[in-house]
Amino acid sequence: SRLCRGRDFQIHRVLTAFNSAVTGEREILLERYLEGWDELVKFLESLGTVIGFISQEVKGKLGVVRELRRGAPATEEEEEGGDPYRTLRSMMAHELRAGLVDFRRQSLSGCRTLLRLHRALHWLQLFLRAVGRSSAGDSMGALCSVAYNQALAPYHSWLLRQAVGVALVALPDRAEFFRIVCGEEEEEEEKGEREREGRQLLERTVLAITRVYNITQEAYQANGMLDLP
Ligand code: 1Q0
């Protein structure tokens, strides 16, 4: 069932990954960033087949960045730092230097690929914040689509927006959502406690994601890469 597969997902792993993705020098460690997404994919996969095309899309993007990373030997100038895909900024510098970033057409760069994940992280930030503030009976689909319309829809075709609208109808209700986030409650009386814990964890996760999002946004802005095709 949905719940059994959902047990695999651990929100604290999302929190840990995104927290440890940021270094003291405000660098984003790509491996940690991708690990945060790996955990989010588990959540998506627990939602079943209608959402399937969304988790396929995310897995595809993660695969592209990892593939580029595997295939990129450090150039001489980069030798010192080793892996050019270690951090977001080193990836940007490396891909710009290697001429991999195309500002006019679609290309297969880590920069344009991660930009898609970055926009999706904006959606997630808005959505989770709304979930944290929601009350019993609120529709997850509605919260989701408000965030979607703000953060992602402007970058999607009309056809895709319709498909997303259909997929959102299949979202679990709020109670099940919190069950996935907090784990299953054994006793009815523990429910309130679980929800408080869940909300707290959600809040900390939103903060971690927001920090990663803001630093990433600055880096894209500084390189004039916010609109990469
Ligand atoms: C929880 C429900 C998820 C609802 C997802 C909202 C809408 C997502 C729409 C995704 C459409 C994907 C189809 C392909 C789109 C691409 O064309 C597009 C652009 O790429 P490109 O190469 O064509 O230029 N790709 C994207 O825009 C990437 C979008 C990925 C969206 C992924 C969002 C899913 C995030 C999921 C994490 C959910 C965890 C929530 C709960 C955590 C626990 C508290």
Domain ranges (residues) in the chain: 2-222
Q: How confident is the model at residue 8 (pLDDT cuts 50, 70, 90)?
A: confident
Q: Which two tokens stand for residue 82?
A: 């080793």
> What pLDDT score was predicted for residue 1?
39
Whether ipTM > 0.85 holds is: yes
pLDDT, mean over the chain:
90
Contact status, residue 124 vs residue 209, Cβ threshold 8 Å: yes
Rounded to whole angstroms, what are the CA distances from 197 to 69, 73, 125, 192, 207? 37, 45, 19, 9, 16
Q: Whose CA is nearest to atom 28 of ligand 1?
A: 116
Strand, coil or helix: 52: helix
Q: H helices then E strands: how many in the chain? A: 10, 0
Q: What are the DSSP calls for 14-57, one per residue?
A: HHHHHHHTB-TTSPBBHHHHHHHHHHHHHHHHHT-GGGHHHHHH
Q: 64 in ligand 1 pocket by Cβ < 6 Å? A: no
Can you say how many angstroms the Cα of residue 170 is from the centroid of all Cα atoms in its chain? 20
What is the mean predicted confidence (pLDDT) over 85-113? Answer: 96
Q: Whose CA is nearest to atom 29 of ligand 1?
A: 120
Q: Which fold has domain 2-222?
A: Glycolipid transfer protein, GLTP (1.10.3520)
What is the mean predicted confidence (pLDDT) over 188-215? Answer: 86
What is the mean predicted confidence (pLDDT) over 170-190? Answer: 76
Strand, coil or helix: 184: coil
Q: How many angstroms separate the alpha carbon of residue 58 from the centre of ligand 1?
A: 6
Q: What is the pLDDT of residues 113-155, one digit of tens each?
A: 999 999 999 999 999 999 999 999 999 999 999 999 999 999 9
Q: 59 in ligand 1 pocket by Cβ < 6 Å? A: no
Q: Report the candidate in 148, 144, 117 with the shortest Cα–Cα distance to residue 130.
A: 144
Q: How confident is the model at residue 196 (pLDDT cuts 50, 70, 90)?
A: confident
Q: 62 in ligand 1 pocket by Cβ < 6 Å? A: no
For residue 167, which atom of ligand 1 is closest to its CA? Answer: 4
- Residue 150 and residue 43: Cα distance in Å, rounded? 22
Q: How confident is the model at residue 184 (pLDDT cuts 50, 70, 90)?
A: low
Q: Whose CA is nearest to atom 3 of ligand 1?
A: 44
Can you say how many angstroms the Cα of residue 17 is from the centroid of all Cα atoms in its chain? 11
Q: How confident is the model at residue 3 (pLDDT cuts 50, 70, 90)?
A: very low
Q: Which two tokens stand for residue 122?
A: 């904006």
Q: Whose CA is nearest to atom 27 of ligand 1?
A: 116
Q: How many angstroms separate the alpha carbon of residue 13 from the centre of ligand 1?
A: 19
Rounded to whole angstroms, what are the CA distances from 88 to 178, 190, 215? 32, 42, 10
Q: What is the pLDDT of residues 163-179, one digit of tens each?
A: 999 989 888 899 888 88
Can you say how many angstroms the Cα of residue 165 is from the centroid of all Cα atoms in its chain? 19
